[in-house]
Structure 1
Amino acid sequence: MSGENTTVSGSGSSANPYVVDAVTNCPEVRRCLSAGWGILYNASTGVIEMDLSDDPGNNAVLRPNGLYVPTGAATVTAGCGLVGNGSASSPVRANTSTWTWPCAIDANAGRVYCDANGLLRTDPPPRMTYVEDGFTTTYADPVVPAGTNVTVRTDTLVIPNPDPCRAATVIFETEADVDFDLPVGARAAAGMGGDEMQAFINRGTAAMADVHWQMTKVQRRTIPQGQASLTENYVVSLGQGAGGATYNRIATQLRAWVFAI
């Protein structure tokens, strides 16, 4: 029995077996074929072949024995800071320098990071700042307290941390100058932060006016990591007042050198 594009001959006996001949209807088959990415198809001729991109840098070629990509076709041209061409024998890598410091690189070297824009970044750079303030106040000759280290003045300096990432070390320097008026036999003392640093007594035969000596202290402070600033209170204290000793002026100076490294 024959059908479309098919013929059958023979009687089916062992001497005359059936023979089936089929012919493909190419126009009907071609309607089922289509092209896609990487494929070319000619519906008129029925030819199917590779579709090779003509973009610059594409080295793929079609040979009689198949698709071929030449050795080195995947290589790249390295720019600043990179070496290698991307091949198996020369992978792309960072163009690093030789570590010449005597300390261990794993424990002491900085690091490199990738930011949100795909740019390379290093550890935050060291930062430093300096702040100062000074105060001078005159007084109507109050009596020097008779006690010890009596607070008579408090000044404040706000010290900023220049680094939002790291703790800061502060060199905090303070100065004070107190002017005493000392009648004969009078006595007075002055200090900073509860530390009595100078004392005067008039052992002469005449009153002494504006007796003073500048006091200085240098201290270390730390601003913790993530803390924006440190408020430092600076106290001037007087004491040992006797014999009618008075004071008429106090001048202070506060300075801070701030390092975040």
Structure 2
Amino acid sequence: MSGSGSAANPYVVSSDVPCADVRDCLSAGPGIAFDTVTGQISARLSGQAGNNLVTRPDGLFVPTTAGTVSTGCGLTGSGAASSPVRANTGTWPYACSVDTEGTVIACGTDGRLRGEPRAVSSFLAFSEERTYPDVVMTTASVAVFDTYSVTVTNPSTCRPALVMTEQEVDVWMVLPAGAGGATGFDGDETFYIRNTGTSTMTSVHSQATKFLSRGMLAPGASVAVSFGAAAGRGSGGAYYYRCNFILRTFLLAL
């Protein structure tokens, strides 16, 4: 205590408490470090794996790119600058370029990654037997006398389809002695026979087949596929009376 107690010199009480006298009153808790020897108070950083909090001269700092994530199937990396998250891809094993021949991966409206549409194929078989009233065969080259047609539809709503057909025509003839006749597809003669005997040949026929590419069909589109049965080069009263049509279609949307 100092001073005389007068207005000009009042009493002054002063107290000097050393830091060591108050250190016992301080304690550390979660996130706080306290050194009882030096009296320094600081932040306590967790040593657990994945913690990116650091101490900088101006305070505590969390790098914006340092947050880590847990990855599962198809992903690698932790999200740290040294380990970015990326797709767990394989090695392109083909001679062609992945840039030009690689397929597309897109994000669906449900947030899932989706690949390109699945390949779709279709196989259909059609057949019909038609009879005629003993039609005398023309002496000219084979010409179409009846046409068979069906409609096919691309089963894929995403991809164009390659249309291929296997078609068969089987024309039944009657050939009196010395008669001859030919049959075929459209204007293409595929079978000719002449009766060199002395009696009538009945139920003469030969089943011809063609396999053709019909080109590409747009996604979900339909097209009529048809072919004609032909007859000609008739002689000696040859005639036909029946035809069997068979059509098989192959549609490949790859």
Q: TM-score range by the shorter chain?
A: 0.7 to 0.9
Change over 3 Å in CA distance of 1:71–1:142 after alignment to 2: closer
1:136 to 2:129 alignment: yes
Partner of 1:139: helix, strand, or coil?
A: strand
Q: Deviations over 1:144-189 (max 9, x none)?
A: 2333232221111222212222222222111111111111111211
Q: Which residue of 1 aligns with 2:232?
A: 239
Letter matched to residue 252 of structure 1: F
Partner of 1:247: helix, strand, or coil?
A: strand
Partner of 1:102: helix, strand, or coil?
A: coil
The answer to whether the 8 A contact 1:223-1:230 is kept is no
Provide the rounded CA distance (Å) in 2 between the counterparts of 1:77 and 1:177: 69
Q: Deviations over 1:106-135 (max 9, x none)?
A: 222212111222221112222211111001
Provide the rounded CA distance (Å) in 2 between the counterparts of 1:211 and 1:152: 18
The answer to whether the 8 A contact 1:132-1:157 is kept is no
The answer to whether the 8 A contact 1:192-1:236 is kept is yes
Provide the rounded CA distance (Å) in 1 between the counterparts of 2:121 and 2:147: 27
Letter matched to residue 221 of structure 2: A
1:228 to 2:217 alignment: no
1:150 pairs with 131, 140, 143, which one? Answer: 143
The answer to whether the 8 A contact 1:166-1:225 is kept is yes
Task: Name the count of aligned residue pairs.
Answer: 205
1:257 to 2:250 alignment: yes
Once the two structures are TM-superposed, the CA of residue 192 in structure 1 deviates from its matched residue by 0.5
| Cα RMSD for the two superposed structures | 2.6
Provide the rounded CA distance (Å) in 1 between the counterparts of 2:104 and 2:63: 38
1:168 pairs with 161, 170, 180, which one? Answer: 161
Provide the rounded CA distance (Å) in 2 between the counterparts of 1:192 and 1:210: 19
Q: Which moved more, 1:192-201 or 1:102-111?
A: 102-111
Q: Deviations over 1:76-104 (max 9, x none)?
A: 11122111111111111111011122322
1:94 to 2:87 alignment: yes
Q: Which residue of 2 aligns with 1:51?
A: none
The answer to whether the 8 A contact 1:223-1:229 is kept is no
Q: Deviations over 1:204-255 (max 9, x none)?
A: 1111001111111111111333361221111101111221111121101001
The answer to whether the 8 A contact 1:161-1:223 is kept is no
Partner of 2:141: helix, strand, or coil?
A: coil
Change over 3 Å in CA distance of 1:59–1:86 after alignment to 2: closer
The answer to whether the 8 A contact 1:167-1:222 is kept is no
The answer to whether the 8 A contact 1:178-1:249 is kept is yes
Partner of 2:84: helix, strand, or coil?
A: coil
Provide the rounded CA distance (Å) in 1 between the counterparts of 2:197 and 2:65: 99
1:180 to 2:173 alignment: yes
The answer to whether the 8 A contact 1:181-1:246 is kept is yes
Letter matched to residue 93 of structure 1: R
Provide the rounded CA distance (Å) in 2 between the counterparts of 1:186 and 1:131: 38
2:208 pairs with 210, 215, 222, which one? Answer: 215
Letter matched to residue 152 of structure 2: I
Q: Unpaired segments of 5 or more residues in structure 2? A: 1-49
The answer to whether the 8 A contact 1:75-1:85 is kept is yes
Provide the rounded CA distance (Å) in 1 between the counterparts of 2:85 and 2:51: 19
Provide the rounded CA distance (Å) in 2 between the counterparts of 1:254 and 1:61: 77
Change over 3 Å in CA distance of 1:71–1:161 after alignment to 2: closer
Change over 3 Å in CA distance of 1:189–1:64 after alignment to 2: closer
Percent identical among aligned pairs is 41
Partner of 2:134: helix, strand, or coil?
A: coil
The answer to whether the 8 A contact 2:163-2:217 is kept is no
